[in-house]
Amino acid sequence: MDAFTQFAETALSGELIPATSSILFIVAYWLFSLVSGIGFDAIDFDFDVDAELNAGDMFMGIGLMPLRWLNLGVIPVMLWLTIFGVFWFIVSYAMRMGFDHYTDASTSWDVTLLSLRNAAIALLPTKFLTNPMREWFRIDEFDPNSFVDMTGMTRVPVNSSKVGRVSVRQPKDNSDVILKAVTTEGEIKSRQPVLIVGYDESRGVHIVVESSVNQDTATDVS
């Protein structure tokens, strides 16, 4: 049996099946994203952790604390899932070739427990790798109204019902800030220049419209 066949058989067996499935889904998503230009969060559950914690609901706040600690919702969900999926597979494969090779996981319950254990281990490197990314998507460090009349670029598609992300460059220190944003009608695709025309305090989002400014002069976050 050649090395690739052995690798494939291992990846498609037992407790590795969920992790392998996540990798296949992630690859399919990003391939589709490259073709369609849908951006980070065509799949986005918008875990608005800060908004929930500020609502004064102590129990909800406590329940969302693990998500905040893991940076889920702080960075785009699909980006987080991609990093987690890779670590989940690496951990699962390494454990199979090491400790689990000698484990008799003969029942679905055993396989489920091993898969959950691997996922839990994968959360730790995911957490530490995504920590620096918090700065890329930091929000609410400035007066929200100070961004009105500024131009930026959509980081994540924006429409009237689903919150997207817009990057804006601060003239003060030339740093990029990622803002939550919606538009009044239609949809603005990813990497399009926009003009911020207002701020909705009730929803905590900026309102943007398509801008005629040249894309090269708008904020561009690769």
Residue 98: CB atoms within 10 Å: 9
Domain with CATH 2.40.50.140 in the chain: 138-210
Q: What is the pLDDT of residue 49?
A: 39
Q: At what angle do helices 16-36 and 108-130 cross, to 10 degrees?
A: 50
| Out of 50-59, 70-79, 153-162, least confident range | 50-59
Which residues in 138-153 are b (16+ Cβ under 10 Å) and which e? ebeeeebeebeebbbb
Per-residue confidence band for 7, with pLDDT thresholds at 50, 70 and 90: confident
Q: Is the pLDDT confidence value at 44 over 70?
A: no
Q: What is the pLDDT of residue 38?
A: 58
Q: What is the pLDDT of residue 27?
A: 92
Per-residue confidence band for 216, with pLDDT thresholds at 50, 70 and 90: very low
Share of the chain above pLDDT 70, in %: 73
For residues 187 and 158, give the distance between their C-alpha atoms in angstroms, rounded to a whole number: 6
Which residues, in sequence order, are bridge partners of residue 193?
Answer: 153
Tokens for 25, please give them: 């889904």
Q: What is the pLDDT of residue 16?
A: 87
Q: What is the pLDDT of residue 54?
A: 39
* 127-130, long-range: CB < 8 A, 24+ apart: 127/69, 127/70, 127/71, 129/83, 129/87, 130/70, 130/71, 130/74, 130/75, 130/80, 130/83
| Out of 40-49, 165-174, 206-215, least confident range | 40-49
For residues 31 and 27, give the distance between their C-alpha atoms in angstroms, rounded to a whole number: 6
Share of the chain above pLDDT 90, in %: 26
Helix (H, G, I), strand (E, B) or coil at 9: helix
Q: Is the pLDDT confidence value at 57 over 60?
A: no
Strands 176-183 and 205-210: parallel
Domain spanning 138-210: which CATH class is it, in words?
mainly beta
Tokens for 217, please give them: 């002069």
Q: What's the distance, Cα to Cα, between the start and end of the chain in Å?
A: 43
pLDDT in tens, 171-189: 666 667 778 899 988 888 8
Nearest alpha carbon to residue 219 among 168, 178, 181: 168
Q: Is the pLDDT confidence value at 1 over 80?
A: no
pLDDT in tens, 11-24: 888 888 999 999 99
pLDDT in tens, 94-114: 988 887 766 666 678 888 999
